[in-house]
Structure 1
Amino acid sequence: MNAWTAFAQAARPDTPAVTELNQWLQDWAGRLDFRLMDARRCLPPHLVLALGNRGVLGMQVAEAQGGLLGFSTFELLRVQRQLGAIDLTLAFFVGLNNGLGIRPIQRFGSAAAKARYLPQLATGRMLAAFALTEQGAGSNPLNLAATARREGDHWRLDGRKSWCGSAAWAGVISVFARHLDEQGRECGFIGFCLDADQPGLGQGSEALTLGLKGMVQNQVHFDAVEVGAEQVLGSQFAGMAVASDTMVFGRLGIAATCIGALWRCVQLMTRYSTRRSLGTHRLWDHEHTQAQIGGAICAATALGGWVDDLATGLDQGQPAPPAEVLAAVKWLASELLGEVSDSALQMLGARGYCDNNPIGQLWRDARITRLFEGPSQTLAAFIGQRVLEQPAVIKAYLAFMPHGQLAIQRLDAWLSSERLQPRDNDRLSEQVLQLGQCVVWLMLSAQALEEHCRPWVASRLERAARDWEHLASPRFALAGLGEWVDARIGAFDRQRADEEVALDELLVCGDDA
């Protein structure tokens, strides 16, 4: 038995149902051209039908609700990992339907909504979408402008949503808006599940995204849409709680998908470096190459164990992890995938830059993971702020980890540090963001890591702490900055009349803003 066989056997095994499904996905993927899907900006219908027929589009829907698999969270995320290794567009299309699409209906929908939608969603006869984000409400969903005003026994929904994955293909869309009573007073937020063909609901322009091109993302418009009580998700006064539950769970799915993509990077780097000759040596024989690949293996392994533990805890009925923990695992997975996919592209050189090879598309697709379900900076600042305000929450989580006591001692030292004394509010906000990043690595270091991963995690934790210690942020005056830059390089943005490719109004030159 070699070291890698022993390592594989030490990993947590898949269930037979997951092993069978993942093997089918591997075989099916060998017959698909993901580069062509990217170029055509579309997933082929026969692929969607095949996924639906296998139950992949509704993996956690129980048989009694019309599902085919009834998977646990652990099983769902293991399939997401496999999909991430195959193609990120495919993975996020499936993940959206399972998480953002089905989850709010399955957990918070009325009996009528569940009976109407779940059997069709579970088998791919209908797709689902999630409409929360707006042009002015991205990382801050509390800034929603869409409104749902009570009118007797129903609501009138008005507003516009942006970057809604699968919306133009969906049969049902979960929508969130400000709840107004009949006098127009604020009553919190409300969520609905709407038929895509309801009067007043219109599909808007598609986003020309950098990556995930095969998966449609578009605007959705609501003009006096009449919504009944049976379409409300959860409490009519707590729609944001429904949205938050959905997005927080989605972060775990994103992390699992990133793990699969990390292993794909390892696969491509290993193939290339062991076959590419540099004089009398292979690229693999260089210490730097082995360090890059070794770090990627540690990243995929450590993250994989963390996600497996979180999923297993949920399946065993343990309390849901704090929001800070799920934000942390998503932050780390997306940041490491961005780092490793960039290293892989660099290692492959000119071959990596050519679109006939897969790493360029993976690198572009991976970029979205650092933006959606919470941009990296927003998540890091959220974690840092929560640690400052309620350190007991993170300490309680760390206390149950194998190396949690050492992590708690380190956290206490940070919290008492002079770096976090409020001398300058702007400066402190940057310190909070850096604290959040350090806490994420601290959480990972407290896990039951594989022996070969522990030195790598420890070194990355020390690097994060060192960067925080030597933090230095330059300051520039805002007044006249835009005009000064325009004068240096010119204001030459091409203005297009058609809405689909119009330049964002926040990016046009000063005279046109």
Structure 2
Amino acid sequence: MQYDLTEEQILLQNMVRRLAKEKVAPGAGKRDEDAEFDWEMVELMRENGLYGIDFPEAYGGSGAGLLALAITVEELSKVDAACGLLVADHELGSLPILLAANEEQRKRFLPQLASGEHLAAFALTEPAAGSDVARLRCRAKKDGDSYILNGTKNFITNGGVADIVTVYAVTDPEKPTHKNAAVFVVEKGTPGFTVGKKENKMGIRWSDTVELVFEDCRVPAENMLGQEGDGFHVMMKTLDFSRPGVAAQALGIAAGALEYAIAYAKERESFGKAIIEHQGIGFKLADMAMRTEAARQLLYKTCAMMQQLPKDLSRISPEIIRMSSMSKCVCGDVAMWVTTEAVQVLGGYGYIKEYPVERMMRDAKITQIYEGTNEIQRMVIAKTL
């Protein structure tokens, strides 16, 4: 299996890296401080075709694959993790359609998602349930040619700005967990669908994270993806394919913190020489570099394996599921560790908001939590062994 970068992937990497340094990095600190969603960044992603990286060419995407998506998210996240999340979360919100939609639904939704004209979000988590899917309470009751949705979702990235939200809801609470749910495409402006509380977060502060409320929200049956009862399967496959996107965000955070810490350590002098020449700092940077590169290799191999699979609901091997969870877990843990070490390398300056490693450390934490906590990833990995 080949997972060295192709010429096209290297060109993409260079393009996004330049875009990140020139257009994204300069305002990253202010966006973090203001904690307001930035539509200029959305427009930048649209102009450069970054929303459709992993979408099929038949529906307006570039068809570049999962590894190209990971490269894009990594490079953006090196300078601003919330910007990298624009692309990663758009993929997450769109994946249920890519996996389970019929042809009419694909033609209806995918072209505008591929161009970024419409933004997507995925609504799974609820106030009483995140990891424990059996406790999800959002209901979808059949009523003629529609379903009536009632319930609340929280911590939904892009929830307040998305044009479509793919929503996981229980259709028959009397049936076993894996047979009682469906995923619906709920369009912005649907009566009964409202945006609730906006979260004030520790990290990725300008990313839109909100509560979504469904009160007798009537959704056409034609907006259901797959068949009634397919919801659990759609959701699990969505997470299998989306975890590398979050892993790429985490990897980018680690790589950005490492690059900044190295540059600082070359310039900062102590006891008559650059601090990188002191073993205490040099060894620390060496460990940071090793863990970051190891995480990158695991993620890139995972993406190379997964992009060979059709995006449908056919069975994924335990090895692929394991690789997906391993890449997310390892990259998240590495991001948290590397950014903490980067703050230490900068010393007192690392603790000051003027320097980006403080923001990177705050941003890194969420990568160990969302898209399945790293504790859940270890459970998934163990079950596939």
Fold shared by both chains (TM-score > 0.5): yes
Q: Deviations over 1:20-40 (max 9, x none)?
A: 532442354366311111122
Residue 176, structure 1, aligned to residue 168, structure 2: yes
Residue in structure 1 matched with residue 16 of structure 2 by the alignment: 22
> Cα distance, 1:227 vs. partner?
1.9
Alignment partners' CA distance in 1, 2:47 and 2:249 = 22
Query: Which residue of 264, 277, 281 corresponds with 1:285?
Result: 277
Residue in structure 2 matched with residue 355 of structure 1 by the alignment: 353
Query: Match for 2:68: what amino acid?
Result: E
Evaluate the alpha carbon distance shift between residue 295 and residue 185 of structure 1 in structure 2; reply closer, same or farther with a 3 A threshold.
closer
Paired residues for 1:185-224 under 5 Å: 188-224=180-216
Alignment partners' CA distance in 2, 1:344 and 1:50 = 29
Residue in structure 1 matched with residue 313 of structure 2 by the alignment: none
Contact kept, 8 Å, 1:351 with 1:357, in 2: the verdict is yes
Residue in structure 2 matched with residue 89 of structure 1 by the alignment: 82
Query: Which residue of 65, 71, 77 corresponds with 2:64?
Result: 71
> Cα distance, 1:111 vs. partner?
2.8
Q: Deviations over 1:13-72 (max 9, x none)?
A: 5525524532442354366311111122124322211211221122122332122x2211
Alignment partners' CA distance in 2, 1:43 and 1:60 = 24
Contact kept, 8 Å, 2:193 with 2:212, in 1: the verdict is yes
Identity rate of aligned residues, in percent? 24
Alignment partners' CA distance in 1, 2:212 and 2:148 = 16
Q: Secondary structure at the match of 2:160?
A: helix
Residue 325, structure 1, aligned to residue 323, structure 2: yes
Alignment partners' CA distance in 2, 1:28 and 1:278 = 31
Alignment partners' CA distance in 1, 2:345 and 2:353 = 15
Q: Name structure 2 gaps, 5 residues minimum.
A: 311-315
Q: Deviations over 1:369-422 (max 9, x none)?
A: 1111122223224433x1xxxxxx53xxxxxxxxxxxxxxxxxxxxxxxxxxxx
Alignment partners' CA distance in 1, 2:162 and 2:336 = 30
Residue 137, structure 1, aligned to residue 129, structure 2: yes
Q: Deviations over 1:269-327 (max 9, x none)?
A: 11111211112232112212121111111112112112222222223349654423322
Query: Match for 2:19: what amino acid?
Result: L
Higher CA-based Rg: 1
Residue 338, structure 1, aligned to residue 336, structure 2: yes
Q: Secondary structure at the match of 2:142?
A: strand
Evaluate the alpha carbon distance shift between residue 106 and residue 269 of structure 1 in structure 2; reply closer, same or farther with a 3 A threshold.
same
Query: Match for 2:15: what amino acid?
Result: L
Contact kept, 8 Å, 1:58 with 1:97, in 2: the verdict is no
Residue 104, structure 1, aligned to residue 102, structure 2: no
Paired residues for 1:304-453 under 5 Å: 304-317=296-309, 321-384=319-382, 386=383, 393-394=384-385
Contact kept, 8 Å, 2:24 with 2:80, in 1: the verdict is no
Residue 271, structure 1, aligned to residue 269, structure 2: no
> Cα distance, 1:360 vs. partner?
0.6
> Cα distance, 1:196 vs. partner?
1.6
Alignment partners' CA distance in 1, 2:25 and 2:269 = 31
Residue in structure 2 matched with residue 47 of structure 1 by the alignment: 41
Alignment partners' CA distance in 2, 1:78 and 1:279 = 39
Alignment partners' CA distance in 2, 1:180 and 1:315 = 34
Query: Which residue of 33, 36, 40 corresponds with 2:30?
Result: 36
Q: Deviations over 1:176-200 (max 9, x none)?
A: 111129xx76751111011021111
How high is the TM-score relative to the length of structure 2? Answer: 0.91
Alignment partners' CA distance in 2, 1:19 and 1:39 = 28
Alignment partners' CA distance in 1, 2:109 and 2:309 = 26
Q: Secondary structure at the match of 1:174?
A: strand
How high is the TM-score relative to the length of structure 1? Answer: 0.69
Alignment partners' CA distance in 1, 2:360 and 2:339 = 7
> Cα distance, 1:346 vs. partner?
1.2
Contact kept, 8 Å, 1:14 with 1:75, in 2: the verdict is no
Contact kept, 8 Å, 1:191 with 1:239, in 2: the verdict is yes
Alignment partners' CA distance in 1, 2:196 and 2:228 = 27
Alignment partners' CA distance in 1, 2:24 and 2:214 = 41
Q: Deviations over 1:237-290 (max 9, x none)?
A: 110111111112221112222222222122111111121111223211221212
Q: Deviations over 1:448-492 (max 9, x none)?
A: xxxxxxxxxxxxxxxxxxxxxxxxxxxxxxxxxxxxxxxxxxxxx
Q: Name structure 1 gaps, 5 residues minimum.
A: 1-9, 387-392, 395-513
Alignment partners' CA distance in 2, 1:191 and 1:275 = 53
Evaluate the alpha carbon distance shift between residue 24 and residue 111 of structure 1 in structure 2; reply closer, same or farther with a 3 A threshold.
farther
Alignment partners' CA distance in 1, 2:25 and 2:370 = 30
| Higher RCO (CA < 8 A, seq sep 6+) | 2
Q: Secondary structure at the match of 1:169?
A: coil
Evaluate the alpha carbon distance shift between residue 39 and residue 154 of structure 1 in structure 2; reply closer, same or farther with a 3 A threshold.
same
Alignment partners' CA distance in 1, 2:13 and 2:376 = 36
Residue in structure 2 matched with residue 56 of structure 1 by the alignment: 50
Alignment partners' CA distance in 2, 1:303 and 1:103 = 24
Contact kept, 8 Å, 1:112 with 1:230, in 2: the verdict is no
- The number of aligned residues is 374
> Cα distance, 1:108 vs. partner?
1.4
Contact kept, 8 Å, 1:110 with 1:230, in 2: the verdict is no
